[in-house]
Amino acid sequence: MSKSFSFRTIIEPDDPKGYHGYVPALKGVHTCGDTIEEVKKNLQDAIKCHLESLALDKVSVPEQDETMEYIQTVDVQFPYAYA
């Protein structure tokens, strides 16, 4: 039986190189890769593996919450030179 799930994923640059990806709704689902495309593929594999493991353990799949994500821009006036 097949079922589709959607999860918010985060991909960030990873020092000193490459990228780190994770799924906030699925505790412990993290991966990395040299490129964003590689991290996307690795995330897909990690999510599938995690969900299959939950099913074997008879644990329900967490629902993606209604989290909103946005970028906040803030102007700051520093009293000294800031590089």
Domain-by-domain residue ranges, the chain? 10-56
Beta-strand pair 19-22/10-13: antiparallel
Over the stretch 55-75, which tens digit does the pLDDT of each residue have? 999 999 988 777 777 778 888
Over the stretch 15-63, which tens digit does the pLDDT of each residue have? 889 999 999 999 999 999 999 999 999 999 999 999 999 999 999 998 8
Q: How many Cα atoms are found within 13 Å in the side-chain-facing hemisphere of 9?
A: 22
* Topology annotation, domain 10-56: Double Stranded RNA Binding Domain (3.30.160)
Cis omega before residue 16 (within 30°)?
yes
